[in-house]
A and B are shown apart, each in its own frame.
Chain A
């Protein structure tokens, strides 16, 4: 069964699955606790528009998708703060713009396998250079979250009290949005734009049902995210299916398995 790992493309896919599963679920803890999953969907749409732009202009699609995701995040932040719009409405406006642009540009490119790979995910086509980017970005996200863990925790738990205590809530919130953009871009090749938020939300949603502490929730979510990504990777290979779908189905299975779990296990 593991023979296929003798192929370098399979080993690259497996290594990418570990990094993507771990990073998405790590960040997903804060996405779930802050109720940011809608913003995540919006940023993912933005990144898809960036991919399309990169492919059309012959630029590096990873770079253009990151820039587009970041632009989307800044635009949402700006609209949410400077207008009368509620944050979810601001996300809705920018999200629609990004998706419309993505569809328009994708229509010009046509349904190539590269485009499909970004939409549905394909771990088996991850190249050496992409793997380096995925691991580099994953380590960056890990280090930043580790450095600011207690501040992220306080600003997530009680933003007003955190700000009153002297924690710079707004810059930290924006930093988290930037990390989310980085994570979405690094996960695009693995799970695809349509399901990237599932890989963020589902492990954290399961972990919240069983964890007694934030550290416990993080460890459980990351463990589950990595396990599901690796399992999903093998399933994708043997079923000849897009990895985004198989990883998501494994996670949905875990979600229903743990549904109704009571806090008290993962400390």
Chain B
């Protein structure tokens, strides 16, 4: 593997003194697409917060593009982040204004976005297929369209890494597929490093070069075929798991198969 862009060495993360994740070690090379899976409460979102420096590690070392632990704040300009389930209620803003917010930290204090920034924001909306909605009120967009706007906001500052926390949650199946195609294209065309949390393994297994399977620690990390094994999945999701191969990719079913 080439020089990793992001690495964790024996990291514990948690809230207060209680760790949610322990002994986490893995490394991601530039341009890789990593899918992060695990049941509710397995530490997926906590891991992303640790990488962003929003949560200091209780133990171990997190490194992003040469910045370690306390310095991670400085690595944030390299990262585009889509948090889980943002619900800004009736905030009056157009899609373009929401995307512009992604440039605010880069702009610095006391500066207002200008014409160039608006052009950048329009380009980001174009990249996610939302250019025609630039002047639409964000509150009036559908769930899938909102997710695309968030994706554009994460992209607008031209990041090297995309951290996506369930970007397809709470949208319909057609919108899920369409958002995923957009993420895959951005990954391919821009050489972005993508870490994407999802509950639906089958949805993104085709896009992932690596899978990180979490359950309060790392259960498996590597190529999908090596990680999505019956024994690994049963450790995480319990005994009612079935793995089958389809076109060379492992697919996972969870349910009561004897019924």
Instruction: State the A residues within 8 Å of B (CB).
Output: 33, 147-148, 150-151, 153-154, 156-158, 160-167, 208, 211-214, 216-217, 263
Q: Is the CB of A158 within 8 A of B104?
A: no
B107 at the interface (CB under 8 A from A): yes
CB of A261, distance to nearest CB on chain B (Å): 12
Q: Main SS of the interface on chain B?
A: mixed
Instruction: State the B residues within 8 Å of A (CB).
Output: 52, 54, 73, 76-77, 79, 81-83, 86, 88-94, 97-98, 101-102, 104-105, 107, 109-110, 112-113, 137, 139-140, 150, 153, 157
Chain B residue at smallest Cβ distance from A208: B90
Residue from A158, A161, A163, A263 within 8 A of B139 (CB atoms): A263
CB of B138, distance to nearest CB on chain A (Å): 9
Q: Is the CB of B92 within 8 A of A147?
A: no
Q: How far is the CA of A33 from the CA of B92 in the complex (A)?
A: 9
Chain A residue at smallest Cβ distance from B136: A212
Q: How far is the CA of A263 from the CA of B94 in the complex (A)?
A: 11
Residue from A150, A165, A211 within 8 A of B81 (CB atoms): A165
Q: Is the CB of A166 within 8 A of B105?
A: yes
CB of A119, distance to nearest CB on chain B (Å): 33
Q: Is the CB of B76 within 8 A of A164?
A: yes
What are the residues of chain B within 8 A of A154 when measuring CB–CB?
Answer: 101, 104
Q: Is the CB of B101 within 8 A of A212?
A: no
Among B54, B77, B92, B98, chain A packs the most CB atoms within 10 A around the CB of B92
Q: How far is the CA of A217 from the CA of B81 in the complex (A)?
A: 28
Among A156, A165, A216, chain B packs the most CB atoms within 10 A around the CB of A165
Q: How far is the CA of A164 from the CA of B88 in the complex (A)?
A: 16
Among A148, A158, A214, chain B packs the most CB atoms within 10 A around the CB of A158
CB of A166, distance to nearest CB on chain B (Å): 4
Q: How far is the CA of A162 from the CA of B81 in the complex (A)?
A: 10
Q: Is the CB of A263 within 8 A of B137?
A: yes
